[in-house]
Amino acid sequence: MNALKHIKFVWLLVTLSLISCGRNLQEQSFVQEVNKMLDGAEYGTYSDEVMQSILDYIKNNPQSLEYEFEEEQSHIRIATSDDGNVRVYNLERSGFCGNPSLGFDCKTLLQYRSGEDVFCEVFDNLDGYVTRICHIDSSKYYLLGTFQGHVAQGIHESYKLYVYKVDNNKLQEVKKCFVSRDGISDNLEFSWNNNGGYLGEDFDIEDHAFIYNNFHKELFVLKSLSQIGMPLKYHQYIWNGKLFEIRKYDEPLEYYNDKYFIRIEQHSENSWMYKCWNGGKKHGEPDLIIKGGTKQYWLYNNSLFSYDEWVTDDASSPLGEKYTFFNNGYRYEYSDGWSNGEQLEVLDVYDPNENIVYSGDFTPVSHYEDD
């Protein structure tokens, strides 16, 4: 009996190996054929006929949704949802013999699985090419992020987020699915100009422009570009099962050093709370709680403006933020940002006579991990 089980196990391994080998050969054949058609560019530009033939070939091979595409494909960008049920093929018309057009003349083919079948749809109305697809929840909602950009005396980048739903063998855009302080919209757009000095060379902005946490149903959208060494700042949205609602309050911030662990959280619309634990670790109840704090931002000229101004007008890109708390005549100021060529993460405490009684550097605790 044991010998029979061993034979069945070996046969199963052989069968799986043959299936995997067959799939690899199919994938290689598919990639080779697509690359052969991509060689049809004249002077770095694809004609309508070439682009249509590539899209038709992908549509006629729905099994390609299963391919892993371990190697990056030239001239075509592929994005796949984390559950493997939605894939996008982005094909740009021109730009491959010089600077790419970065999404301004792009054909987009979406593959999606509904039940046991795979369907395809060509999209012409997306702004840019799709960089990422996030599976929002089990109701078959998907978040698509698109990108456009160009280089001209700096880097100019624009992103848009859309929500789609797979329903009755159709991939449908969900309308009015982003609720912000400015109202409700079909998509969420954010952009900026990088004129130098903002980001390190090894920083890939496309990987950090937005983050979706499937477990908590939280979407973090980058507010603005950051100076080198500064932490990134995000708007936070919550998925309620039908749409994304912006979180009215800032996400809590936490900092620590060998003496203190600090947590700063928004207590009401224009009020912050300061919590502090002695010993550098957060455990039990805080040793000090101060309510009624304020928040300000500082600009290049070191001028300060209030939190209320910031949420009203997000066009500016402040260098840092300052939280101020008062307790029995003592003033606590926490500065988080870029000043005079260095990153500040500093708590200063002043006595009633304006003398500094404590000044310490802190390390921020990240709350933007996509787990």
Domain for residue 15, yes or no?
A: no
pLDDT in tens for each of the 371 residues of the chain? 455 555 544 454 444 444 444 457 777 888 888 878 877 666 667 788 888 888 899 999 988 898 887 666 667 888 999 899 999 998 877 765 555 566 667 788 999 999 889 999 888 767 788 989 999 988 899 999 988 876 655 667 788 999 999 988 888 999 999 987 778 999 998 876 654 444 444 445 667 788 888 878 888 888 766 555 555 667 788 899 999 988 767 778 999 999 999 999 988 878 999 999 999 999 999 999 999 999 998 876 677 878 766 655 544 567 788 999 999 999 999 999 888 778 889 999 999 999 999 999 999 986 544 33
Residues 6+ apart with CB under 8 A from 184: 176, 178, 243
pLDDT of residue 247: 74
Domain for residue 161, yes or no?
A: yes
Of 211, 246, 281, the residue that ends a domain is 246
pLDDT of residue 103: 66
Q: Do 210 and 259 sit in the same domain of this protein? A: no
pLDDT of residue 152: 59
Of 217, 246, 275, the residue that ends a domain is 246
Domain for residue 180, yes or no?
A: yes
pLDDT of residue 331: 97
pLDDT of residue 354: 96
Per-residue CA distances from 62 to 48, 122, 158, 325, 359 (Å):
22, 14, 31, 60, 62
Q: Do 81 and 218 sit in the same domain of this protein? A: yes
In residues, how long is the chain?
Answer: 371
Give the DSSP letter of residue 62.
G
Q: Do 207 and 342 sit in the same domain of this protein? A: no
Contacts 24+ apart (CB under 8 A), 353-356: none
Q: Do 240 and 300 sit in the same domain of this protein? A: no
Domain for residue 96, yes or no?
A: yes
Q: How far is CA 1 from the centre of its chain?
A: 54
Q: Do 232 and 299 sit in the same domain of this protein? A: no
Burial of 188 (0-12, 13-18, 19+ CB in 10 A): buried
Rounded CA-CA distance 161/133 in Å is: 10
What is this structure's pTM?
0.63
Q: Do 201 and 72 sit in the same domain of this protein? A: yes
Q: Do 257 and 241 sit in the same domain of this protein? A: no
Domain for residue 14, yes or no?
A: no
Domain for residue 189, yes or no?
A: yes
What three-state secondary structure class fits 212? Answer: strand
Q: What is the rounded end-to-end Cα distance, in angstroms, of the chain?
A: 45
Q: Do 289 and 323 sit in the same domain of this protein? A: yes
pLDDT of residue 6: 53
Q: Which of 185, 137, 192, 180 is nearest to 162 (CA)?
A: 185
Angle at 260 between CA 255 and CA 264, to 5 degrees: 40
Of 190, 224, 246, the residue that ends a domain is 246
Q: Do 146 and 258 sit in the same domain of this protein? A: no
Q: Which two tokens stand for residue 245?
A: 């609602």
Q: Which one-letter amino acid corresponds to residue 275? A: K
Structural domain including 349 reads 253-365
Domain for residue 63, yes or no?
A: yes
Q: Do 95 and 189 sit in the same domain of this protein? A: yes
Q: Do 92 and 228 sit in the same domain of this protein? A: yes
pLDDT of residue 260: 97
Q: Do 237 and 129 sit in the same domain of this protein? A: yes
Q: How many folded domains does the chain comprise?
A: 2
Give the DSSP letter of residue 17.
H
Domain for residue 24, yes or no?
A: no
